[in-house]
Structure formats: structure tokens, C-alpha cells
Amino acid sequence: MNSLLPNQPADSRLGAVWLRFWFCPADSRPLDLVRMLTAGLALMLWWSYANDLQTWFGPQGVLPSETVSQWRSPLGLSLFDCATTAAALQALFWALGVVFGLLLLGLCTPLVAVLAALLWASLLHRGPMLVGPADDCLAVLLWCVAIGPAGQHFSLDRLLANRAGKPAATRLTRTRIALGLLQVHASAITIAALLAQLKADVWWDGSAAWWLTARGDSRLIDLSSWLAQSTYLMNALTHSITAFEILFAIGIWLTPTQRPLALTGLIAWPLIGVLAGEPLWGLIMATFAVPFAFPLANLERR
């Protein structure tokens, strides 16, 4: 794509930036990394439904499909509604696990990625009142992987293509679209989390870190006694989380700060997830940052 000229009209420069952001071909290797990480996290979340699957969704379950349909929007359809017997429900659930496994390996990736996104959305629509932040964010990741060519490199598809003498595509427009969607959602989800936090006074007075670790129902580590010994430490940790989220949401769009903040996010998001009692959500947020932590994910410069 031609370089932007300073004397171009503002609308032309804006249009060129828009086209460059969404359609400039990009290397798909970072997207392959996102695919593998997403599939691994998907298997963890999928397994978390296994023990209580029949209890919630079975023929005599707590959440019959007729009741759940009243909670959903008219567009919230679910293939799991068709699983009216225990055997059918179990088969469909295990089919989802197989699809996630194939996505991890990168076999028949274009088809498997779409199936993974559809089946996961179906499971979430079957019990929307059970869905947590990690479930929703995983759904976004799966659709981004489905849109982009996520099996071009680190996959069984690539291994089979190499044996057949088919070269890998280097830079593709679909990759850039998928990376753009990852960037938009990484920023949007961070802003949504930040706004939800700032509604509570504890994030303003600096005591939120203590409250997070003091909750016995969801905490993974108990730092409450340690934080209670130092108001300054408690305030510093609370405001550091807020500051990081603000910087991440904005800085992911700026070339000088994009990679440093993405690299920081690989560590910060999992730590925030552990502190908040949502470790898988933290890992999923870190996965959003993966493509921007490496130069290969940058826009092609000419």
C-alpha cells in the first residue's frame, strides 16, 4: 500500500489508515499461536462443565431448555437444545471437546475453527446464567481464530501441506482482519472491565486489592493479612491495576507503546486474574496480547 502523503486530504488519509489497519496483509504466525493458546484454554473451560453437565442440562436437569429460552434473546439459539436425552447431551458435549482438540492440533483448521466457535456459543446459550467472563472472552477469541487463517504454520495442516509440496502463504488479508478484531476487542474488554471497576468506591480509595484477596468464595491466594499491614502497599497495588488497564486500553493502539504494553500484559493479566479469582480470564486476556507482543504482528511497513 502506498505511503500516506502529508498533503493528502484528511478524509483520504483517514481512509488510507482504515484500509491499512483492516486489509494490509500480515504474517499469520502470531495467529497460529493464538489458535493454540485459545484451544488449550477452551479445553480447560470445556472440562469445567463436565462434572455437572447432566445436573444442569440433562433431561431432569435444573435448567430445562424451555426455561432457559425465556432468558435468551430470540437470536440466542443453541444446538444443545436438540440434545433431549442424556446420551445425546453427552455425545454433543464430547464432540465439542474433540473439536477443541483438533483446533489445538491444527487439523482441518478452517472448518474446525468455525465448528468450535459455533458449538461453544451453543453451550453458552444453553445456560446463559452460568456464563462467566472467561466464557464470554473465549467466545470472542474463537470467532477471531475462525475468521483468520490460523492453521498456516504450527499445525498438522501445515505438516500435511509440506508433505504435499504446498508452500505456506506468507502474508494474508484475512490475517490482518483477525488481528484487527483481536486488537479492537482487547481494548474494548479492558475498557469495559475498567468502567465496571470504577463504579465501586474501593477502586477509588485504594482498598480494592484487599477486598479481592479477602473474598473467601473466589480467592486463589490470601494476601489480605499482608496487604492489611501496609495501606501504601494496598493502595499501590489497587491503583497499579487501574493504571495498567488504562495504559493497555489506549497504548495498544500506539506504535511506540504497543509491544511493551503487550509484553507487560502477558504477565500482568494472569496476575490480575489470580488476584480477582478468575485465573482463566486472566490467561485469556493475555492471549489477546500475544499477537502484539511480537514484531510479526505489526502492520506491514512499506
Looking at the domain assignment, is residue 212 inside a domain? yes
Q: What percent of the chain has pLDDT over 70?
A: 89
Q: Are residues 46 and 109 in the same domain?
A: yes
Query: Is 7's pLDDT higher than 60?
Result: no
Query: Is 137's pLDDT higher than 60?
Result: yes
Residues 6+ apart with CB under 8 A from 166: none
Task: Retrieve residue 229's grid coordinates.
Answer: 499491614
What is the rounded CA–CA span in Å between residue 273 and residue 271?
5
Q: Are residues 57 and 133 in the same domain?
A: yes
Digit-coded pLDDT (tens) for 80-117:
999 999 999 999 999 999 999 999 999 999 999 999 99
Q: Are residues 224 and 153 in the same domain?
A: no
Q: Which of 64-68, 153-157, 234-238 has the highest mean pLDDT?
A: 153-157
Looking at the domain assignment, is residue 254 inside a domain? yes
Q: Are residues 148 and 229 in the same domain?
A: no
Report the number of distinct structural domains present in the chain.
2
State pTM to two decimals: 0.90
In this prediction, residue 117 carries a pLDDT of 98
With CA atoms as reference, report the closest residue to 32 among 136, 109, 137, 112. 109
Among 171, 195, 223, give the residue marking a domain's end: 171
Among 171, 196, 218, give the residue marking a domain's end: 171
**Domain assignment of residue 157, given as a range:** 26-171
Q: Rounded mean pLDDT of 159-169?
A: 88
Q: Are residues 166 and 214 in the same domain?
A: no
In this prediction, residue 302 carries a pLDDT of 36
DSSP classification of residue 229: T
Task: Retrieve residue 204's grid coordinates.
Answer: 477509588
Q: Rounded mean pLDDT of 261-267?
A: 97
Residues 6+ apart with CB under 8 A from 265: 248, 285, 286, 288, 289, 293
Q: Are residues 72 and 164 in the same domain?
A: yes
Q: Are residues 205 and 161 in the same domain?
A: no
Query: Is 297's pLDDT higher than 70?
Result: no
Looking at the domain assignment, is residue 231 inside a domain? yes
Which is more confidently placed, 220 or 51?
A: 51
Task: Retrieve residue 271's grid coordinates.
Answer: 496476575
Query: Is 300's pLDDT higher than 50?
Result: no
Looking at the domain assignment, is residue 240 inside a domain? yes
In this prediction, residue 284 carries a pLDDT of 98
In this prediction, residue 66 carries a pLDDT of 85
Looking at the domain assignment, is residue 34 inside a domain? yes
Residue type, 37: L
Looking at the domain assignment, is residue 182 inside a domain? no
Digit-coded pLDDT (tens) for 34-47:
999 999 999 999 99
Q: Are residues 41 and 74 in the same domain?
A: yes
Q: Are residues 283 and 191 in the same domain?
A: yes
Query: Is 166's pLDDT higher than 80?
Result: yes
Digit-coded pLDDT (tens) for 169-227:
778 899 999 999 999 999 999 999 999 999 999 999 888 887 877 765 555 666 666 66
Looking at the domain assignment, is residue 9 inside a domain? no
In this prediction, residue 258 carries a pLDDT of 95
Which is more confidently placed, 16 or 31?
A: 31
What is the rounded CA–CA span in Å between residue 203 and residue 213?
14
What is the rounded CA–CA span in Å between residue 206 and residue 225?
16
Residue with cell 493497555: 248
Q: Are residues 199 and 151 in the same domain?
A: no
Q: Are residues 295 and 166 in the same domain?
A: no
Query: Is 139's pLDDT higher than 60?
Result: yes
DSSP classification of residue 278: -
In this prediction, residue 206 carries a pLDDT of 83
Q: How far apart are the first and last CA of the chain?
A: 7
Looking at the domain assignment, is residue 19 inside a domain? no
Q: Are residues 157 and 226 in the same domain?
A: no
In this prediction, residue 110 carries a pLDDT of 95
Q: Rounded mean pLDDT of 8-20?
A: 75
Among 171, 199, 217, give the residue marking a domain's end: 171
Query: Is 78's pLDDT higher than 60?
Result: yes
